[in-house]
Structure 1
Amino acid sequence: MAKNLIAERDALLKALELAHRRINEAQKSQKQAEQEIHTLEAQARALEIQLESMHRQFEKRAGEIAACHGHGEEHIRMLEHKIGQGVAESQRLKALLIEAESEHSTNHVPAPRRGVHYEPNSLHVDADVEIEASPPHLRRHRS
């Protein structure tokens, strides 16, 4: 009888040890599952925020498109007109450059530099210009 009790006790200890291992494994699995849940919830929140942002952008662009609806052809005509003005101005400037280069070769007047506009008569210098200047040490006033 004592041997039966010892055998039964050993069996119960092994069963208890096995149960503790299974409980520990279950707790580890539960922690891993909870971490995965937190990760998935964070991803879901990030995707919701991104979806809301995209929805706002879509609404904004839809509003812009609706505002331009019917005005697209007018906008195109306006841009074409601006391009035409730019081409005409470019041709006018090319003609002025060619004219200035031809005058330079005949009159030896310096050709206008790019980006600088001057009239041919603007090179005239007044001889009556007075320049008032004094050395820097005389301009200082001591108190």
Structure 2
Amino acid sequence: VEPHKAPRSSMSPLIVTDSDGRLALVVGSPGGSSIIDYVARSTIAILDWNMPVQDAISQGNVIARDAPAVIESSRMPAGVVDALHARGWTTRELTLGEVSGIQAIRVTPHGLEGGADPRREGTVVRLAPGERVTPPAR
């Protein structure tokens, strides 16, 4: 902490509305300076590629804010890392301390579709109107 300095933060919870202003998608993640990458990747996969929310969240991360790009190669389709190297990218493997924790909910004509990052704590459940969840006994 220093005088006249703002803390580094990339908090970017995202709320997307449709052209009529109705809620369409909410996305957010912990993850320090990588939050922007996690939120952008998942949002593009959900809205532009029309991936199911859970699939979009579960796909591999690439964090390219500077060199080398940080890659979660274990979740990448075969050949992606080699293709990046062939194009001159330098990469390093994503470490455990850098994993995302993205959560998202999309509004669909059939209800809500949610997803939770399998790399971190958290889950997603869908409840019928009036249904309640009983937490497990401690």
- Whichever of the two has the greater Rg, that structure is 1
TM-score range, shorter chain: under 0.3
The structure in which a higher percent of residues are helix is: 1
The structure in which a higher percent of residues are strand is: 2
TM-score by length of 1: 0.20
Q: Which has the higher contact order (CA 8 A, sep 6+)?
A: 2
TM-score by length of 2: 0.21
